[in-house]
């Protein structure tokens, strides 16, 4: 297990997260919300996120089935994490909020098909593709 500190852009929200599978759970999603948000995320089990500062600055957003809860800093607007729809025992954490981590650290990120969500189709989650990052170096 990997524990790492994180924060929003303005620093009002600070948290620690324990990644139960390290960075092996990295992914993006094609659903309408994730597509617009553009975040790369990793998974933490319920209880794996501890808000150290700024819990009062967090706001949340729910849509469609209202089962996923997406958290944002109410001051700077940065998405920090969300409780997943397909597995309520998991939280997805924005890697760009983690200290010393960038979404560009990962040359290959699986993209999951959130448009055809397993909760809507009854089918297993399907990989929609891969996001590639090729450094100019």
CA distance 94 to 96: 5
What is the DSSP secondary-structure string of 29-85? Answer: E-SHHHHHH---EEEEETT-EEEEE-GGGEEEE--TTS--EEEEETTT--EEEEE-S
Measure the CA angle with vertex 39, ends 36 and 41; round to 5°: 140
* Extents of the domains making up the chain: 2-132
Predicted confidence at residue 1, as pLDDT, reads: 74
Closest of 87, 47, 94 to residue 67, by C-alpha: 87
CA distance 128 to 137: 28
With b meaning 16 or more CB within 10 Å and e meaning fewer, what string describes 89-101?
ebbbbbbbbbeeb
Dihedral (Cα; 71, 112, 34, 65), 10-degree rounding: -70
* Model pTM score: 0.91
pLDDT tens across the length of the chain (137 residues): 789 999 999 999 999 999 989 999 999 998 888 889 999 999 999 889 999 999 999 999 988 888 789 999 999 999 999 998 777 889 999 999 999 999 999 999 999 888 877 777 788 888 899 989 988 87
CA distance 57 to 52: 12
Predicted confidence at residue 109, as pLDDT, reads: 97
CATH topology of domain 2-132: 2.170.150
């Amino acid at each position: 297990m990997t524990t790492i500190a994180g924060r929003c852009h303005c620093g009002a929200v600070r948290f620690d997260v324990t990644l139960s599978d390290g960075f092996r759970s990295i992914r993006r999603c094609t659903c309408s919300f994730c597509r617009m948000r553009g975040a790369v995320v990793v998974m933490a089990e319920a209880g794996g996120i501890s808000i150290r500062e700024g819990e009062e600055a967090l706001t949340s957003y729910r849509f469609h089935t209202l089962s996923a809860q997406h958290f944002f800093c109410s001051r700077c607007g940065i998405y920090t994490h969300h409780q997943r729809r397909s597995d309520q025992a998991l939280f997805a954490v924005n890697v760009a909020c983690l200290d010393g981590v960038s979404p560009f650290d990962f040359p290959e990120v699986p993209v999951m098909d959130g448009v055809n969500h397993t909760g809507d189709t009854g089918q297993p989650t399907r990989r929609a593709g891969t996001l590639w990052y090729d450094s100019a170096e």
